[in-house]
Structure 1
């Protein structure tokens, strides 16, 4: 079951005095980046994501024991020590076995193989997955590989520790992520070769779209994809291309300054704060809950909290007097940003944006001299995205492909559209049904 349609009443227990307001901003949901300690190992993250997807783990079973068990199985069936030496060299000495099936990567999600930073990054993907499950991967394996995988499966244990604990902030992106992962899961070898790029892309797309969506909480509506413009990494980025200049990297960088202030405030607003197994909800849903609430105390509670927060943080921000609970939530969010506009907190937020860019966005940002920084997609990401979007179909109209890119947070201008068609023609996966360009179809490459 996903939590896309999960609803809960907004009934928060908000601090009502300055003494009750925490004096530090803490963040534990919706984004895995902290102000420091963000290094992570993608191998461990991949292992943890697959562990959550399969609901299985391999614990207290060392890789060396697995190798020994495989040796016993083959010596019993084949009886030739020389043959085992060949297999050992092929599959085990350099861990080539990890390219056989995604299930082997569960070894990377064992205790001691990952650190807190890996867990936090993996939890971002677990929450996007919304408890989606894959029973096992149907890889086309030879007899030897089937035997090895069977040996491992005999040691797997059920595991439900990596469950979603947030309602998706961006339901449309969570849906696309699940669809795309389902497509990859049906092609285990392709998944193994592309999963790092796949997770890297979605980590950035989610972060960028979240930063753009945060400001639109007041409507109480689910966010939709917002324009954020990319170019291919070989293209020129002249200043005449206004979308690239104003709605690309510059827009992302400016929007990212909202992430830490608004998400740390969202922590304090959570209705189930302190409750075991409470599901975190997005700010737009809190707004919806306020608009639908019959509680007469909400306005008073939010007003007291706003005044207490302003006092605790020594802020001089002017609050808008109102009889509306929603307006007082507006005051609360105004204070969230105001506390980071001066002094040491200003520098903390600047560092936070820099950490976000370094750990989640670096593959998608390039410096282009006088044009400054731009958002880019290299050819490998374009091929991967194209294959995911075309999916099980034989081909897709080019304009449908572009629409599907937009649903994943990728927008391009007309110039980049032409570059994309040229690129598809070069690699031979495009079909023109007419010279006008209206009927251009794109096929997948796998």
Structure 2
């Protein structure tokens, strides 16, 4: 039975499938540090405990290089070239792991956010880092990084849950494989890549969270380009754009907290939609009893009716978990903390206010090029309509007006080939 034994009301948590906490003090995130933790997971690395900051690593490099060169006179030049500007982190992709040595960041939130991304990555790991072209100095610095004094293979066995959005997890892994095969592009774009997928996951999870009676699927989510004008007359943007994502995100905390409360979080936690398929008729009484206990514990006023089916029992519990956060309740602050942090950390980078026209989901040119390159992947070029389908499979939709602006932008950049006046004969090339 997938349900936890002896179901009892407990503190709300969405930790298995979402990184945001109901405690505002725990919602501090630094994307550079997240990159460091993610690189550690991707390359299965651990940093030695003796390396507490970049100065410790710098000292090891200084010792090695002054022995290789003619004493210390050259060291200050090397220090200026690689350490003063943190260029040391860009020698090789795996050296981005040193970003976790940032003493100013709060690692708790960063580790939770990394867990979300690592769950998207699944079992993917790089046993052998991609080859990069290094000069003599960079080879020596990289040798220090690879030495047992700095890094070692991690022996930690991480608990991985079944992806809540399997289709998005598959695309994340595919796109990550492509990025890894282009180390320079990877270095330039890994933070943007993780931010982009952090948003796509948040938006698609929000739009799927109430549909637990069936497996999740990609939902329409419309963007505009930052270079185009917005208008309230564009129906798809109004119905399936920024507003729907924000409103749908309000259901994340109650539904994920419900899912978490039904299972033993020390074990692998199932997504709500899969848990539903595992529950049998024998569980109905258990769920009804839990609903009564929860109703009494939270002092809720909605009338409670015993359910006669699994679907009805879960629907009742979903209403109760939502009601506990209503305005004026003792848990309203926790709910608002969750909603605020979700928007600030994961949605804000992709939203933009357009005065009277309202707020929209926006892709700037950098994110658009990143998305275009990973969508085309290992192919040299694809037709425009195929590219748009690749965008949509990742949860990025454009209306006809945006499609026109998209082609104009690609033409200005010079990565479009027109074989004829037909729309099907427009090809888009990668920029790497």
TM-score by length of 2: 0.92
Task: Answer yes or no: is 1:149 the counterpart of 2:142.
Answer: yes
| 1:51 alignment partner in structure 2 | 40
| 2:77 alignment partner in structure 1 | 86
Q: Deviation per CA, 1:139-162, whole angstroms, max 9, x where unpaired? A: 222232122111210131121447
Structure-2 separation of matches of 1:100 and 1:81: 22
Q: Is the 8 A contact 1:50 1:105 kept in 2?
A: yes
Q: Is the 8 A contact 1:228 1:409 kept in 2?
A: yes
Q: Deviation per CA, 1:280-321, whole angstroms, max 9, x where unpaired? A: 21000111112xx4xx53111011111211122222324454
| One of 193, 212, 219 as aligned partner of 1:217 | 212
Structure-2 separation of matches of 1:346 and 1:441: 51
Number of matched pairs: 423
Q: Is the 8 A contact 2:211 2:273 kept in 1?
A: yes
| 1:323 alignment partner in structure 2 | 308
Task: Answer yes or no: is 1:443 the counterpart of 2:432.
Answer: no
Q: Is the 8 A contact 2:12 2:261 kept in 1?
A: no
* Secondary structure of 2:360's aligned partner: strand
Alignment of structure 1 residues 339-358 onto 2, 5 Å: 339-344=324-329, 345-346=331-332, 348-358=334-344
Structure-2 separation of matches of 1:46 and 1:71: 26
| One of 188, 198, 201 as aligned partner of 2:196 | 201
Distance 1:51-1:372 versus aligned 2 partners, 3 A rule: same
Structure 1: where are the runs of 5+ without partners? 1-8
User: 223-232 vs 163-172, which deviates more?
Assistant: 163-172
| 2:347 alignment partner in structure 1 | 361
* Secondary structure of 1:229's aligned partner: coil
Shift of the alpha carbon at 1:114?
4.8
Q: Is the 8 A contact 2:21 2:337 kept in 1?
A: no
Task: Answer yes or no: is 1:140 the counterpart of 2:137.
Answer: no
User: 341-350 vs 115-124, which deviates more?
Assistant: 341-350
Shift of the alpha carbon at 1:347?
5.2
| 1:25 alignment partner in structure 2 | 12
Q: Deviation per CA, 1:315-359, whole angstroms, max 9, x where unpaired? A: 232445443223212211121222223423445434432221111
Structure-2 separation of matches of 1:34 and 1:369: 31
TM-score by length of 1: 0.90
Alignment of structure 1 residues 11-410 onto 2, 5 Å: 11-15=3-7, 20-22=8-10, 24-35=11-22, 36-37=24-25, 38-59=27-48, 60-62=50-52, 63-79=54-70, 81-110=72-101, 114-135=106-127, 136-155=129-148, 156-161=151-156, 163-219=158-214, 221=215, 223-270=216-263, 272-273=264-265, 275=266, 278-290=267-279, 293=280, 297-344=282-329, 345-346=331-332, 348-410=334-396
Q: Is the 8 A contact 2:224 2:362 kept in 1?
A: yes
Distance 1:389-1:53 versus aligned 2 partners, 3 A rule: same
Q: Is the 8 A contact 1:387 1:445 kept in 2?
A: yes
Structure-2 separation of matches of 1:164 and 1:194: 27
Structure 2: where are the runs of 5+ without partners? none
